[in-house]
Amino acid sequence: MPAPTALPEFLSLVRESGLWDESRYHEVAGQLDELPPDPAATAARLVEHGYLTGFQAKQLLLGRHRGFVLGSYRLLEPLAAKAGGTHYLAEHVGLKRRVVVKMLPPNRAGDKRALERFFREARAVAALDHPNILRLHDIGEANGAHFLVLENAEGEDLQTRLSRDGAMRPGAAVALALQAAEGLRQAHDRAVVHRDVRPFNLFVCEGGLLKVRGMGMARSLDAGADDLTKLLGTGDGDAAPADFLAPEQALGDPVDARCDVYGLGATLYALLCGRPPFQGSIPAVLVQHQTADAPPLVGLVPGLPPALGAAVARMTARAVGGRPASMAEVAALLKPFADKPLPPPKPRPALAALTPPPKRKSSLSLSVRPEAAPPTPRRGGRETATMAMLAAITFCLAATAARLLTAH
């Protein structure tokens, strides 16, 4: 549709977009006299009051009103466009829960048989439920678009942290690796192998909780033909997956949980010394993974416990049989070197009775009502008794002084 040039045209686009229910539309339409006649100015006012997001307003002003709603989810803002699809911050229409919607590229969703395999595999990933795994809430299709609905977590990935801060303290790095191992352990127990374990796919939330994400390359060991990689590409992020790729996976050989052990070992290597085990172009790195052992960490990281260096060397062994067979074995190797987890914070006293709830903007008017003055605090029983005693003492002193003056 053409870009709206008048206020009624703009509001009509909003109505057709499905972003508002009828009650919200009539609430805004009933205040036309308070809205600027210019669509851009009205859009800015609606964004200011939370009726639209900046992304939604921009698209509507361009005449675009389709694609904002996918099934039960309303798109709020774009987050990223990567090889594996486009990500949006979204909201469940009924539950009002914020999520991330990942759209599959149309060119990867044209193969019907591959799409069926993808949904079967995605259901296996959705069955994972662990604090250290970024949760897949839902899968769906709407308006010809196929999408995943992921947990919305705030924080940063370890690749970002590594690029900014460099190597980490051994105890802190191992503690993060242990969290990743715990999440991957559940995936392996349910016959799902991640196949893309690297710093970018380890996401640290506010508070220090680590979540394994990037299940786009996951493969079920129960159904060897299922492979999300064919639909989602080689993953997202800045660091080349080749830096953390197990040798057998690079060769296209069958993989099991030990390819994730290798990826986690290479990731821990990078966290400890500030760079992946091998350097060079992608082909050169792949060759080194196949033909060379990673340089010993003990010679690269001052003060590193030799046993920790040996544990990482085992995790990144070229031969599959030389690695720990499970994430449980990995955890046993690494636990002695991890920082102790921080104790849970003490519960804070409830402040609901002291802090008024935030006011919900129900009108487009910018006027603000003056708030009533806070009530005078009532005195407690002990304070009242103290004041009464002081008054009695004052009275007695005054009476005594009067008698003395009379006597003289």
In this structure, are residues 93 and 74 in contact, taking their beta carbons and an 8 Å threshold?
Answer: yes
Region 140-161: mean pLDDT is 88
Region 142-163: mean pLDDT is 89
Per residue, the 3-state secondary structure of the chain, as one string, reads: CCCCCCHHHHHHHHHHHCCCCHHHHHHHHCCHHHCCCCHHHHHHHHHHCCCCCHHHHHHHHCCCCCCCEECCEEEEEEEEEECCEEEEEEEECCCCCEEEEEECCHHHCCCHHHHHHHHHHHHHHHCCCCCCECCEEEEEEECCEEEEEEECCCEEEHHHHHHHHCCCCHHHHHHHHHHHHHHHHHHHHCCEECCCCCHHHEEEECCCCEEECCHHHCEECCCCCCCCHHHHCCCCCCCCHHHHCCHHHHCCCCCCHHHHHHHHHHHHHHHHHCCCCCCCCHHHHHHHHHHCCCCCHHHCCCCCCHHHHHHHHHHCCCCHHHCCCCHHHHHHHHHHHCCCCCCCCCCCCCCCCCCCCCCCCCCCCCCCCCCCCCCCCCCCHHHHHHHHHHHHHHHHHHHHHHHHHHHC
Burial of 359 (0-12, 13-18, 19+ CB in 10 A): exposed
Architecture category of domain 155-337 in CATH: Orthogonal Bundle (1.10)
Whether residue 185 has pLDDT greater than 70: yes
For residue 387, what pLDDT is reported? 55
Per-residue pLDDT band for 114 (boundaries 50, 70, 90) equals low
Q: Which of 251, 306, 243, 245 is nearest to 270 (CA)?
A: 243
How far from the centroid of its chain's Cα atoms is residue 186's Cα?
20
34-48, 82-96, 292-306: segment of lowest average pLDDT: 82-96
Per-residue pLDDT band for 367 (boundaries 50, 70, 90) equals very low
For residue 215, what pLDDT is reported? 73
Mean model confidence pLDDT for the chain: 80
The predicted-structure confidence for 199-214, as pLDDT tens digits, reads as follows 999 999 988 999 998 8
Domain ranges of the chain: 1-58, 155-337
Per-residue pLDDT band for 94 (boundaries 50, 70, 90) equals confident
Per-residue pLDDT band for 216 (boundaries 50, 70, 90) equals low
In this structure, are residues 258 and 308 in contact, taking their beta carbons and an 8 Å threshold?
Answer: no
Whether residue 359 has pLDDT greater than 50: no
Q: Which residue has the higher pLDDT, 268 or 25?
A: 268
Per-residue pLDDT band for 220 (boundaries 50, 70, 90) equals low
Contacts of 163 (CB under 8 A, 6+ apart): 238
For residue 221, what pLDDT is reported? 53
Residue 56's identity, in one-letter code, is: Q
23-27, 32-36, 362-366: segment of lowest average pLDDT: 362-366
For residue 403, what pLDDT is reported? 53
For residue 116, what pLDDT is reported? 74
Region 7-15: mean pLDDT is 92
103-112, 174-183, 246-255, 265-274: segment of lowest average pLDDT: 103-112
Whether residue 308 has pLDDT greater than 70: yes
**pTM surpassing 0.95?**
no
Reported residue count of the chain is 408
Q: Which residue has the higher pLDDT, 364 or 125?
A: 125
Q: Which residue has the higher pLDDT, 324 or 104?
A: 324
The predicted-structure confidence for 377-387, as pLDDT tens digits, reads as follows 444 444 545 55
Cα 238 to Cα 270: distance, rounded to the nearest angstrom = 14
The predicted-structure confidence for 45-87, as pLDDT tens digits, reads as follows 999 999 999 999 999 999 999 989 998 999 999 986 554 458 8
Buried b vs exposed e over 173-199: b needs ≥16 C-beta within 10 Å? bbbbbbbbbbbbbbbbebebbbbbbbb
Whether residue 218 has pLDDT greater than 70: no
Per-residue pLDDT band for 355 (boundaries 50, 70, 90) equals very low
Q: Which amino acids are annotated catalytic?
A: 196
For residue 153, what pLDDT is reported? 87
Buried b vs exposed e over 144-166: b needs ≥16 C-beta within 10 Å? ebbbbbbbbeeeebbbbbbeeee
